[in-house]
Structure 1
Amino acid sequence: MTANKKIYFASDQHFGAPTIEQSKVREQKFVNWLDTIKADAEAIFLLGDLFDFWFEYKKVVPKGFIRVLGKLAELKDSGIQIYFFVGNHDLWMEDYFETELNIPTYYKPKEFTFNNKLFLIGHGDGLGPGDKGYKRMKKVFTNPFSKWLYRWLHPDIGVALAQYLSVKNKLISGEEDVKFLGEDNEWLVHYCNKKLTEKAYNYFIFGHRHLPMNIQLTENSKYINTGDWISHFTYAIFDGQEMVLKSY
C-alpha cells in the first residue's frame, strides 16, 4: 500500500428500493461519501447488493443510478482501484461494470494481501451452514437456462416484476435475517472459523447481513461485516495496519 493511503469497504446499498424517490436520497449520500474518501483512497471494495435489483439484457440495463455510476467512473479514471463483488440482489450482473467502468467483477469470495495481511473478501450470501431456502433459490436464479428464459420478458415487465419481488419477498429481501444471532449462531462466523482451519486469514470482510460487526475470531483474525446503507450507513477502513468500522 502507498503511504498515507487507505482501503475502503462498503456493501448493501440496495439502490432502487423501496422506491426510486427514497433511493435517490441515499444515492446522493453515498456519492457524497465517495467524494470524501477520494483524497486518500487507494482502493474501494463494493461487496454486493449495490442495487436492489440488476439484470443485464444483451442490449439493456436497468434505468437509473446515473450519479452513482458516474462517480464510480470518475474515481476509477482518477486511478483509484475499485472492485465489485456480486451480491444476491445483483447476482445477474455480467460484464457491464467491466466493459463500461473498467471495474473487475467477482462472483465468489477472493483472497487479497495488503501489507502482509491476508484477506478473504466477498458478499457473504450462501456461505456457511443453514440458509437452505436461499441456497436452493440461488441455484435456480443462477442457472443459465433460467437467465435465458427471463431474457424473453420485455425489460419493462422483467425489471418491474423483479423489483416488486425483491422488496416484497422476504426470502429474497432478507428482511427476516436482519438481527444479530449471537456469535455462536452467526453462520458467517462458522464459515470463517472453518476457513481458518485451512489458512491463516487475518481478516474476513463480508456484507449481506446488513449488520455492522467486528468479531475477534482468534488472536490474529477478525470477521468484519460492513453493515448497510439503508439503516446504518457503515463502512470499513484498512489503513495498512488495522481495520476499523465507521458510520457516515
Structure 2
Amino acid sequence: MTIPEGKKIYFSSDNHLGAPTQKESRLREKKFVQWLDEIKEDAAAIFLLGDLFDFWFEYKHVVPKGFVRTLGKLAEIKDSGIPVYFFVGNHDLWMNNYFEEELNIPVFHKPKEFEFNNKTFLIGHGDGLGPGDHGYKRMKKVFTNPLSKWLYRWLHPDLGVPLAQYFSVKNKMISGEEDQEFLGEDKEWLIQYCRRKLEKKHYDYFLFGHRHLPLEFQLTEKSMYINTGDWINYYTYAVFDGKDLTLEKL
C-alpha cells in the first residue's frame, strides 16, 4: 500500500468492550467511537489489533448484543472506502465470519506482513508469541479446537455469554486492577519473538497489542517494536504517517 500525501494509518488494540461492567464499558466505547470519527478524516487505513471485545462468540445466528455504536461506526468507515483490518485477540478469538460478511472487514487469526511506503511491518495481536506462557498456549489450543467451539455453541447464549464474561473480568490485568510494568527485554516475550523473527528476515516495524502497556522499543538501528497499549488505562494508539511510526495518546 502506498500512503497518499497527508494520509495516515492508525493502529489500536485492547478496548475490552463489555468489561468490567456495561456502564464503565459504555464510557470507553463512546471515546473510541469519537476517536474513529476524528481519524476517518485522514485515515488511509485502520488496523484493530485484537481484544476489541472482552468476549465475543459467534453462534450460528447470534452474536453478543451491544456495541452497536462501535459496529455502526466501523461499518460507516468501511462503506466510505477506508480499509479496516481486524486481528483476533485472546478474548475475541472465537470470531468467525461476522465481520467479513456484515462489515466487509477482513479478519486475521495470525500475525501478517504488510508493506507501506516501502516499510515492512509485522502486525498481530501478540498472544502466545515468543518463549514462555506455556499454560496459556496449551489453553489456546483447547479453546480454538473445533470440538471445543462446537460444544460451547450448545450452551444457550443467556448462559454462555455471561459465564464467559464473568471469568474474563476475573482477570486482574483486563479489569485494570493491576499496574503494568516493563519487565526488561529479557522477560518481555514479544521482544524475544521480534528478535527471533529478525534472525530470518528484516522488518522495519513490529506492531502488537495484548500487553496492555504502551511500548516503543528499538530492536536494532533499523527495526522497532511498538505495543499499542490499551483503552482501559492508557488510551494509546500508533500512527504511521508514511515515514515514521509513533505512539500517540488520546
TMscore range, shorter length: over 0.9
Which one of the candidate residues 134, 141, 152 is aligned to 1:150?
Answer: 152
Where structure 2 has 5 or more consecutive residues not aligned to the other structure, the ranges are none
Q: Equivalent residue for 2:194?
A: 192
Where structure 1 has 5 or more consecutive residues not aligned to the other structure, the ranges are none
Q: Equivalent residue for 2:142?
A: 140
Task: Provide the C-alpha distance between the structure 2 equivalents of 1:208 and 1:174, rounded to a whole number of angstroms.
Answer: 13
- Does the 8 A contact of 2:20 with 2:175 survive in 1? no
Q: Equivalent residue for 1:111?
A: 113
Query: 3-state DSSP class of the match of 2:24?
Result: helix
Equivalent residue pairs, number = 248
The percent of aligned pairs where both chains have the same amino acid is 74
1:22-80, CA deviations, whole angstroms, 9 ceiling, x for partnerless residues? 10000000001011111100000000000000000000000100000000000001111
Task: Provide the C-alpha distance between the structure 1 equivalents of 2:234 and 2:241, rounded to a whole number of angstroms.
Answer: 22
Within the alignment, does 1:123 sit opposite 2:107 as a pair? no
Q: Match for 1:143: what amino acid?
A: N
Give, in angstroms, the shift of residue 184 of structure 1.
Answer: 2.4
Within the alignment, does 1:165 sit opposite 2:196 as a pair? no
Q: Match for 1:148: what amino acid?
A: W
1:128-183, CA deviations, whole angstroms, 9 ceiling, x for partnerless residues? 00011111111110000000000110010000100001111459879769331112
- Does the 8 A contact of 1:4 with 1:40 survive in 2? yes
Query: 3-state DSSP class of the match of 1:189?
Result: helix
Q: Equivalent residue for 1:23?
A: 25
Give TM-score scaled by structure 2 length.
Answer: 0.96
What is the RMSD of the two structures over their aligned residues, measured on CA atoms?
A: 1.5
Query: 3-state DSSP class of the match of 1:112?
Result: strand
Which one of the candidate residues 99, 102, 108 is aligned to 2:101?
Answer: 99
- Runs (4+) of structure 1 exceeding 4 A deviation are 169-177
Give TM-score scaled by structure 1 length.
Answer: 0.97
Query: 3-state DSSP class of the match of 1:216?
Result: strand
Q: Match for 1:168: what amino acid?
A: K
Task: Provide the C-alpha distance between the structure 2 equivalents of 1:171 and 1:212, rounded to a whole number of angstroms.
Answer: 14
Task: Provide the C-alpha distance between the structure 2 equivalents of 1:130 and 1:171, rounded to a whole number of angstroms.
Answer: 18
Which one of the candidate residues 21, 27, 34 is aligned to 1:32?
Answer: 34
